[in-house]
Chain A
Amino acid sequence: QKEVEQDPGPLSVPEGAIVSLNCTYSNSAFQYFMWYRQYSRKGPELLMYTYSSGNKEDGRFTAQVDKSSKYISLFIRDSQPSDSATYLCAMKPSGGYQKVTFGIGTKLQVIP
């Protein structure tokens, strides 16, 4: 079993839809949770960075962490064609240096 599981998609939605992207994980030591957006042939760009459980909102993006279920989500409201990209979840334990474990990414296409 992989430490981080993420559905690769592709996920196609119409412009304006609410998008839900998810990851599950098995390592209960993970405390920091991140979402990166990666456009085709570009490097990942950090979108959201959260610690432990709860919600964090930034504009149209909301990150949600449920540690009891080992489940994290990224919601995108009012999706735009420019949101079309691959979204990678990433996570790591707390305490000094800890390697970040990435999901394989979900490819999202927002259709105008």
Chain B
Amino acid sequence: DAMVIQNPRYQVTQFGKPVTLSCSQTLNHNVMYWYQQKSSQAPKLLFHYYDKDFNNEADTPDNFQSRRPNTSFCFLDIRSPGLGDAAMYLCATSRDLGYEQFFGPGTRLTVL
């Protein structure tokens, strides 16, 4: 089945220690998104890639970076995680801009 895969499902890191979360998709979609979702809150868009074109949300902290080496993979790098960065990180894809988004299962990040 075509799908969005996120690894790892659970990630524990220490305060200030860089961490990378991974997303891959077999849908061959052009657009990939990263969202942050804290407990009982709406998903918050961090950035998206349209093909290789990176689009950052204005309020996304510089601490968050992303890479998309090819169509299938996208990475979220948190350079110096703080306690406030503990959250579920959701990757989503869509066929093109403005189309329905399909989400992966998420990576739950814990910062100690």
Binding site for B on A (CB under 8 A): 4, 8, 34, 36, 41-46, 49, 88, 92, 94-105
Residues of A within 8 A of B45 (CB): 99-100
Asked whether B41 lies within 8 Å of A46 as measured between CB atoms, the reply is no
Asked whether A46 lies within 8 Å of B100 as measured between CB atoms, the reply is yes
- With both chains docked as a complex, state the minimum distance between the C-beta of A26 and any C-beta of chain B, in angstroms: 15
Asked whether B105 lies within 8 Å of A42 as measured between CB atoms, the reply is yes
| Cβ of B43 under 8 Å from chain A | yes
Is the contact region of chain A dominated by helix, strand, or loop, or is it mixed?
loop
Give the distance in Å from the alpha carbon of A46 to the alpha carbon of B95 in the complex: 14
- The total number of A-B Cβ pairs within 8 Å is 50
Interface size on B, residues (CB 8 A): 22
Binding site for A on B (CB under 8 A): 4, 6, 40-43, 45, 50, 57, 88, 90, 92, 97-98, 100-106, 108
Is the contact region of chain B dominated by helix, strand, or loop, or is it mixed?
loop
Asked whether A45 lies within 8 Å of B97 as measured between CB atoms, the reply is no
Residues of B within 8 A of A49 (CB): 100
Residue from the list B42, B57, B98, B103 in contact with A43, Cβ < 8 A: B103
Residues of A within 8 A of B103 (CB): 36, 43-46
Asked whether A104 lies within 8 Å of B108 as measured between CB atoms, the reply is no
Residues of A within 8 A of B90 (CB): 43-44
User: Which residue, of A34, A95, A98, A99, has the highest number of chain B Cβ atoms within 10 A?
Assistant: A99
- With both chains docked as a complex, state the minimum distance between the C-beta of A38 and any C-beta of chain B, in angstroms: 8
Asked whether A97 lies within 8 Å of B42 as measured between CB atoms, the reply is no
**Chain A, residue nearest B106 (CB):** A43
Given contacts A44-B43, A45-B103, A95-B98, could you give 12 more A-B pairs where the C-beta distance is less than 8 Å?
Answer: A43-B90, A43-B104, A46-B103, A49-B100, A92-B98, A96-B98, A97-B97, A100-B45, A102-B43, A104-B40, A104-B41, A105-B42
Give 8 CB contacts A-B under 8 Å: A36-B103, A42-B105, A43-B92, A43-B105, A49-B100, A88-B42, A94-B98, A98-B98
Residues of A within 8 A of B43 (CB): 44, 88, 102
**Chain B, residue nearest A6 (CB):** B42
Residues of B within 8 A of A102 (CB): 42-43
Asked whether A41 lies within 8 Å of B106 as measured between CB atoms, the reply is yes
